[in-house]
Amino acid sequence: MDSIRQERIFQFDALVQCAAKVAVVGHTHPDGDALGAATAMALTLLSRGKKEVACVFSDTPGENIRFILSPEVRCYFHDREAEKSESFLRGADLVILLDCNAFDRTEALQPLLEASPARKVLIDHHLNPDTARFDVVFSTPEVSSASELLYWILRALDWEVTLPAGTALLSGMTTDTNNFANSVFPSTFRMASELMAAGIDRDALLQKIYNGYRENRVRLMGYMQYEGLRILPGGCAYMLLTREIQQRFDLREGEAEGLVNVPLTIGDVRLSLLLKEDRGHFRVSIRSKKGTSAQALAQRFFHGGGHENASGGKLFIGTDIASAEDAAAYVENALKSFLK
């Protein structure tokens, strides 16, 4: 793998050896890949004798993916424990940022990370990494997930991938590829194969990831597909998950995961957007088929980015649109102009 050059491996190894207090950080609203990669990184550092290690995230993850975290790893969520997460970050002499391409993707943690004198390492698979801010960068979009990239880095370092760390990595890769449906490379199957051969129970993992939801999620998915789906000429689909709908279905963080992919199962649909209303903005998820760039749409109209066919961003109420009711018109105009 091109990103894993030997000199970077030596540099990363040296930074870890010198570090006394390591903060392992992932992106805002962490998904399975951010949790899996960060947990595996922290577990590996602990098993290599580092005493002061913690994961820090800006927000508490959804219940359905919290199982990826390990009881062995200290974890601070800034939305719950701002003081503790800030104090840990201030004292860290090494920061390892995973599954995001820049500090702004950590939102509330951004000012602390930018001001931190710690040495910094980036391990990521998104487009446009902010390489100038890091001492060592492992970044390539030619890999399924940050979890997979970390697996190959650990292998290149010749550090043991313990069963708990491997389980976290397999979880992260599985969620990011939507169980081998997207962004899969030959190396992804090799990683999965090696981890299964090492004894990781993939069936148990799949049960936890895909068959542990609450009933309300299935009902919401049905409602949104029946009542909420709008399909525009040109093959663009979008859904608005308003606050009112979220309250009606008692929706919690992470429970709309996967909904944005559903419209792409329609032959004529090449672009799918899900807008989830939050405080002062909509969180926007975008998925596309090959040949249409979700990333370009996210960047041009939603202050975001991500991967070519899976991106995200935001639509701000008060600046981009006057009120939440204007979201549909904004999306329809954006799509018209994007497809011109």
Q: Which of 133, 314, 330, 338 binds ligand 5GP (CB under 6 A)?
A: 314
CB-based contacts of 331: which residues, under 8 Å, 6+ apart? 238, 273, 275, 315
Residues 235-294 that bind ligand 5GP (CB under 6 A): 285
* For ligand 5GP, the closer CB: 15 or 109: 109
Amino acid at 220: L
Q: How far is the CB of 47 from ligand 5GP (least distance, A)?
A: 28
**How many Cβ atoms from other residues are within 10 Å of residue 324's Cβ?**
18
Q: Which of 78, 264, 304, 334 binds ligand 5GP (CB under 6 A)?
A: 304
Q: Where are the beta strands (DSSP E) in 179-294?
A: 230-232, 236-241, 271-278, 281-288
How many helices, marked H, and strands, marked E, lie in the chain? 12, 12
Instruction: Decide if residue 311 touches ligand 5GP (CB under 6 A).
Output: yes
305 binds, among Mn ion, ligand 5GP, none (CB under 5 to 8 A by kind): ligand 5GP
Per-residue string for binding with ligand 5GP, 138-177, x by CB under 6 A?
----------------------------------------
d(CA 57, CA 304): 19
d(CA 137, CA 20): 20
Instruction: Decide if residue 61 touches ligand 5GP (CB under 6 A).
Output: no
Instruction: Decide if residue 148 touches Mn ion (CB under 5 A).
Output: no
CB-based contacts of 70: which residues, under 8 Å, 6+ apart? 39, 42, 43, 164, 168
Cβ-count burial of 193 within 10 angstroms (0-12 exposed, 13-18 middle, 19+ buried)?
A: exposed
Strands 236-241 and 230-232: antiparallel
Q: How far is the CB of 260 from ligand 5GP (least distance, A)?
A: 6
Binding piece for ligand 5GP, criterion CB under 6 A, among 147-155, 156-164, 245-253, 302-310: 302-310
Instruction: Decide if residue 257 touches Mn ion (CB under 5 A).
Output: no
Q: Which of 26, 30, 166, 306 binds ligand 5GP (CB under 6 A)?
A: 306
Instruction: Decide if residue 99 touches Mn ion (CB under 5 A).
Output: yes
CB 314 within 8 A of CB 306: no
CB 283 within 8 A of CB 251: no
Q: How far is the CB of 62 from ligand 5GP (least distance, A)?
A: 12
Give the chain's end-to-end CA distance (angstroms, integer).
37
Binding piece for ligand 5GP, criterion CB under 6 A, among 144-152, 300-308, 315-323, 332-340: 300-308
124 binds, among Mn ion, ligand 5GP, none (CB under 5 to 8 A by kind): none
Instruction: Decide if residue 230 touches ligand 5GP (CB under 6 A).
Output: no
Task: Kindly list the residues in this chain that would bind ligand 5GP in the complex (CB under 6 A).
Answer: 27, 31, 105, 126, 285, 304-307, 310-314
